[in-house]
Amino acid sequence: MNILLLYPLFPKTFWSYEKILELVDRKVLLPPLGLVTVAAILPQEWNFKLVDRNIRSVTESEWEWADIVILSAMIVQKQDLLDQIQEAKRRGKLVAVGGPYPTSVPHEVQGVGTDYLILDEGEITLPMFVEAVQRGETSGIFRTLDKPDVTSTPVPRYDLLELDAYDSMSVQFSRGCPFQCEFCDIIVLYGRKPRTKNPAQLLAELDYLYELGWRRGVFMVDDNFIGNKRNVKLLLKELKVWMEQHQYPFNFDTEASIDLAEDQELLELMVECGFKAVFLGIETPDEASLQMTKKFQNTRSSLIEAVESIIKAGLRPMAGFIIGFDGEKTGAGDRIVRFAELAAIPSTTFAMLQALPNTALWHRLIKEGRLRENSDGNINQTTLMNFIPTRPLEDIAREYVEAFCTLYDPVSYLDRTYRCFLMMGVASWTAPSKFPEWVVIKAMLIVIWRQGIKRETRWKFWHHLFSIIKHNPRVTDHYLAACAHNEHFLEYRQIVRDQIESQLAEFLASQPQEPALETVNA
């Protein structure tokens, strides 16, 4: 059986980082971990080829070779997913589809000709699919209400990837999150009981990446890496030894809930294992909105103090912010900007609230008659809200655009980054010194030319850089890498403004009489 694994295109998003990736001659930030895990679960006597369309298109010989085309996608990849299913069907191929987006709204991929729907988690549903194929069945829907024991998940087939094209590699330790945020689809897809691999499994995955020659960043893609603190500490204690034995070949980034700040042991273990950055779902500094959306874990202590603790431990914070919660008061965008400045958070993923399929928010809005027709939600930063908010959409959109552009003003970004790294802690160890790759040297020279000579940032750039070298020299490389992100945001802030203003004008023209809700229906 010849299996073509196909990963659809991403539109330009906050995470695209095209301008930064161009500097280091790479195409994509992260690989399709789901598809290489699928390849590991399927019968190993089958033949596999993987094409990430974010790197290149499928060749004619690859289309011809394939017996079955398997695709996986997130909601932001929806359009290219549907296009590629239709392309495969035009060529007479059997098509199997799975992943988060098809699992949430299977009828949309069915409608364009999908033969096999492999939904929910593949450890359970992929064997069902294999049995159907071996029986000669040419269609089927494979679902389960059970959550698999991920200690049985095999090492992903990283060998199928075009490794040189990726800036970071992906591994997964856990699935699920213990919290109950109303807008989040992670708990819908993976449950509220975090399930973890055992440390030996995760280290086997790192061993394989090491054998394949990988020596760059690794992203722990867990939606909440610390959802099961006991198990993650067991992993980190073994990972610390592994990193030391292998002379620190990787650095790690991940996502975690803000209660990470309350566990000093966990923070220290992460830093000692080579973790450099952590994405935090802060959402809003407005406590009433946090209560409204059931993000109670963010209301237990000072969010600014929590971020400061994380920075001082040695982790660069990335933060997620959302505007448009029910009952939100005017000026939410300004309050988010003020918070990011006070907390010295360099980069923030900021977007208007979306009701994602099957979330608690989605079901509540349907009940209240507030969900807009033909809008399944999208977590891109260039998308208007897909429901009727409790204050005018125009006000929210304009606040959002102005706040986004203010956050990514080049000088403001450099200032926040400088203040963050000035107080950043460091690990007790130092990795063996090695001469940097020429592509990295060239990228740094371009950043220095653009930000230190060519642009209005020149005075800030040199002042901040020399101050970091003087007061916190061991973070200099990490600091310069964070400065390089300015290259992406400088362009992306204008993309956000143009697209949101265009959608807003279209929306106001098509629905001029639609009032905002003043109160939420009971």
pLDDT tens digits for range 203-259? 999 999 999 999 999 999 999 999 999 999 999 999 999 999 999 999 999 999 999
For 421, residues 6+ apart whose C-beta sits below 8 A from its C-beta are: 316, 468, 472, 475, 478, 479, 482
Question: What pLDDT was estimated at residue 455?
Answer: 94
Q: Is the pLDDT confidence value at 517 over 70?
A: no
Whole-number Å distance between alpha carbons of 417 and 476: 12
Query: Tens of pLDDT along 191-203?
Result: 999 999 999 999 9
pLDDT of residue 376 exceeding 90, the answer is no
Helix H or strand E segment including 170: strand 168-171
The SS3 of residue 367 is: helix
Helices 458-471 and 476-484, packing angle to 10 deg: 160
For residue 468, count other CB atoms closer than 10 A to its CB: 22
Region 481-485: mean pLDDT is: 95
pLDDT band at 358 (very low <50, low <70, confident <90, very high): very high
pLDDT band at 512 (very low <50, low <70, confident <90, very high): low
As a whole number of angstroms, the distance between CA 377 and CA 355 comes to: 6
Alpha-carbon distance of 195 to 192, in angstroms, equals: 9
Residue 514 confidence (pLDDT) above 70: no
Q: Burial level of 434, CB count in 10 A (0-12/13-18/19+)?
A: exposed
Amino acid at 491: E
**Cα 8 to Cα 131: distance, rounded to the nearest angstrom:** 26
User: 3-state DSSP call for residue 420?
Assistant: helix
Query: What is residue 304's three-state secondary structure?
Result: helix
How many C-beta neighbours within 10 Å does residue 513 have?
4
* Neighbouring-strand partners of residue 281: 320
What DSSP assignment string belongs to 237-251? HHHHHHHHHTT----
Dihedral angle sign, alpha carbons of residues 72, 78, 81, 85:
positive
Q: Which long-range contacts (CB under 8 A, 24 or more apart) does 442-446 make?
A: 442/23, 443/23, 443/24, 443/484, 444/480, 444/484, 446/23
Q: Does position 355 have pLDDT exceeding 90, yes or no?
A: yes
pLDDT value at 169 more than 90: yes
Q: Is the pLDDT of residue 520 over 60?
A: no
Under 8 Å between Cβ of 318 and 482: no
Alpha carbon distance 197, 95 (integer Å) = 30
Instruction: With H, G, I as helix, E, B as strand and everything else as coil, classify residue 118.
Output: strand
What pLDDT is attached to residue 428? Answer: 96
Q: Is 241 exposed, middle or buried (0-12, 13-18, 19+ CB in 10 A)?
A: exposed
Q: For residue 515, give the 3-state DSSP assignment.
A: coil
CB 225 within 8 A of CB 273: no
Assign 212 to helix, strand or coil: coil
- Please report which residue ranges of 429-485 form alpha helices under DSSP H: 438-449, 458-471, 476-484
pLDDT at 402 over 50: yes
The pLDDT value recorded for residue 16 is 84
Looking at residue 513, what is its pLDDT? 58
Amino acid 522: pLDDT: 42
Q: What is the DSSP letter of 166?
A: B
Q: How confident is the model at residue 373 (pLDDT cuts 50, 70, 90)?
A: confident
Confidence of residue 377 (pLDDT cuts 50, 70, 90): low
Give pLDDT, residue 380: 77
Query: What proportion of the chain, given as a percentage, has pLDDT over 90?
Result: 90
Integer Cα distance of 181 and 291 in angstroms: 9
pLDDT tens for 14-55 read 878 888 999 999 999 999 999 999 999 999 999 999 999 999
For the cut 90, the answer to whether the pLDDT of residue 521 exceeds it is no
**Beta strand 174-175 with 195-196: parallel, antiparallel or unpaired?**
antiparallel
Residue the block writes with tokens 């722990």: 220
List beta partners, residue 4: 49, 69
Look at residue 518 in the predicted model and tell me its pLDDT.
54
Q: What is the DSSP letter of 462?
A: H
Q: How far apart are CA 100 and CA 254, in angstroms?
A: 19
Predicted pLDDT of residue 435: 83
How far apart are alpha carbons 329 and 286 in whole angstroms? Answer: 9
The pLDDT value given to residue 379: 66
Predicted confidence at residue 15, as pLDDT, reads: 79
Are the C-beta atoms of 250 and 206 separated by less than 8 Å? yes
